[in-house]
Copies of this chain bind each other. A is one copy, B any other.
Amino acid sequence: MNTTVKINQWLQKNEHRGIKLLQQLVQENSVRENESSAQAVIIEKCRKLGLDLDIWEIGSDELKGHQAFYCDRKDFSGTPNVVAVKKGSGGGKSIILNGHIDVVPEGNEKDWIHHPYSAVVENGKLYGRGSTDMKGGTVALLLAMEAISSVGIQLKGDIIFQSVIEEESGGAGTLAAILRGYKADGAIIPEPTNMKIFPKQQGSMWFRITVKGKSAHGGTRYEGVNAIEKSILVMNALNRLEKVRNDQITDPLYKNIPIPIPINIGKITSGQWPSSVPDLAWIEGRIGVAPHEKMEEAAVQLETCLKELADVDPWFKEFPAEVEWFGARWQPGNLETNHELIQTVTKAYKKVKGIEPVIEASPWGTDGGLLANVGNTPVVVIGPGVTAAAHDVNEYIELKEVFTAAEVIAEAIINWCEKSDEQGD
């Protein structure tokens, strides 16, 4: 019986345990600053797999002083990063398997059919915040590792499994792991690509724009200047900038993506009192950064766009809209499609699925940018689940896809890290 068949059978036999692990993980709400109980589930699993555990609270001076560190959280205590290593016998290529444990807030709970942390399984789907982004992917990694060991395969290269915090707000967890010394010859990040292969990843940055008005009594609102009305002009300008930037993207990897590098308005806050004209508004959002682009270039374009508002409305000449680049940013990733890592994953995919994979650019940022640009580790992003479900209410994952992902990833790991010499197929 060859390795591919053995892995497949092991995964089939252990389906129930795999689902249970994912349920446990989803049931532990791990929104930012609340990641500890979900990490405990990961730690317990890694212990059972006999991995060498490294559990630490991030936040060193080196981390906070690093040029790629962007985070608005001050205190990381109580919510550790977890790295678990399976040492190889030596001589093979090493691989990082990276998943983030933090999830975005659940939004309006009333809009969820099942409670957001129920992990209910229905018609082959598991529901809950984080099921797709990306606890499903993390479980695929753990299943791949367990399958390889369980069928008796010893590898030459090291496997470095990482369950990191803070991906959703800028990647401080992955950056901390890089600075702690974790680098490798390649990395797989199973973010929800719907099992497409993403060699390139869109980067992104968060912005906060302050828009000024002039307060007045609402009954004589014509004596004031409404910061919300001025914010609409700002948002229209950002829409125009998004169009200009996306019209310039010609990379064929983006051909099926409606807006390759979106500018998203995620939040607006203005006013304290219904009967007053508000004098301040804050718009928060994220700007997508193209794989070939530098973060700074994108920042300058947005800043220029805001300056040009003075031509649209003279108000902005006197009271310019001001931008802060706060909190999170994700570096873009830009691996060429002919890189050996992409070839290895493509081959594994074809072997397991029997068809050609779709190779595209990712429509969102991942920690892959940091691994590539700071950690010098080539990265491929491939994982179960669809992007549309991530960050949405009623987030779910097709359980079948989690096991397919585990199978493809196991196959890729074996080919990448190589079996020890004494082992045949």
Contacts and interface: CB of A to CB of B under 8 A. Distances in A.
Given A264-B275, A273-B105, A284-B274, A391 B226 contact: no
B392 A214 contact: yes
Interface of A: 104-105, 107-108, 111, 133, 168, 202, 204, 206-208, 214-224, 226, 228-229, 232, 235, 258-259, 262, 264-281, 284-286, 288, 327-328, 362-365, 387-388, 390-393
Contacts of A215: 107, 391-393
Instruction: Name which of A228, A279, A288, A387 has the most chain B CB atoms within 10 A of its CB.
Output: A228
B265 A268 contact: no
A79 B353 CA distance: 72
B278 A266 contact: yes
A202 B216 contact: no
Contact of A390 (B168, B217, B281): B217
8 contacts: A214-B392, A216-B392, A218-B285, A219-B262, A221-B262, A223-B392, A229-B265, A274-B286
B259 A266 contact: no
B279 A285 contact: no
Nearest to A110: B280
Contacts of A387: 217, 219-220, 223
B220 A388 contact: yes
A350 to B, nearest CB: 26
Contacts of A392: 214-217, 223-224
A327 B286 contact: no
Nearest to A281: B268
A285 B274 contact: yes
Contacts of A286: 218-219, 274-275
Copies, count = 2
Contacts of A226: 264-265
A220 B262 contact: yes
A123 B262 CA distance: 53
B258 A266 contact: no
A312 to B, nearest CB: 16
B364 A220 contact: yes
A279 B391 CA distance: 11
Contacts of A393: 215, 279
A219 B202 contact: yes
B264 A267 contact: no
B274 A327 contact: yes
B277 A218 contact: no
Contact of A276 (B104, B202, B232, B288): B104
Contacts of A133: 217
B204 A258 contact: no
Given A218-B262, A226-B265, 11 more contacts: A214-B392, A218-B266, A218-B285, A219-B362, A219-B364, A220-B387, A228-B265, A265-B278, A266-B271, A266-B274, A274-B327
B275 A168 contact: yes
A391 to B, nearest CB: 4
Contacts of A202: 219
